[in-house]
Amino acid sequence: MSYGMTAALQTAVYGRLSGDATLAGIVGSNVFDALPEGPLPPLYVTIGPEKVRDRSDGSFGGALHDFSVTVTSSAAGYHQAKQAASAVSDALLNGGLSLARGRAGRVQFHRAQAGRSGADRRIEMWFRARLDEDDS
């Protein structure tokens, strides 16, 4: 197993989400891998925790990455958050991710949970990506 591709995956996910025009139309530039200091915007996306398992075989190092992306909204209802969550899902599932290290198989939707955190609405989505070390 190699955990060495995790930074490349996070960079690719952040790049995909921050560069997606549909998502930008909903949340603007409010895509973060770390929350900014000061007041938070009323609607934003964060790249969150991950769980990684070994998926190496006899020839290649590999890992199965389950990673979360969360949409947080201070709006009274879930509609805006669900629009943003849909755009996140579309951005990650339509087309492969290009990594600086290794290669990513197809990204798959794994699960989601919508709930409240204080006055905020949160939708936490989990995605799964199989990463393989390059054979070169």
For helices 79-93 and 6-18, the axis angle rounded to 10 degrees is: 120
pLDDT, tens digit, 9 for 90 and up, residues 2-35 = 677 788 899 999 999 999 999 999 999 999 999 9
Judge whether 1 lies within some domain. Answer: no
**Domain count of the fold of the chain:** 1
Q: Is the pLDDT of residue 132 over 90?
A: no
The answer as to whether 93 is a domain residue is yes
Domain of 90, CATH number, reads 3.30.2000.30
Query: For residue 41, which of 88, 90, 92, 84 has the smallest C-alpha distance?
Result: 84
Domain of 46 in residue numbering reads as: 6-132
Look at residue 80 and tell me if it is in a domain.
yes
For residue 73, is it within any domain? yes
Whether 126 maps to a domain, the answer reads: yes
Report which of residues 3 and 81 the model is more confident about.
Answer: 81
In this prediction, residue 101 has a pLDDT band, given cuts at 50, 70 and 90, of confident
C-alpha separations of 117 from 3, 33, 114 in Å? 31, 19, 10
Q: What is the pLDDT of residues 26-71, one digit of tens each?
A: 999 999 999 999 999 999 999 999 998 877 666 667 788 899 999 9
pLDDT in tens, 103-121: 787 899 999 999 998 999 9
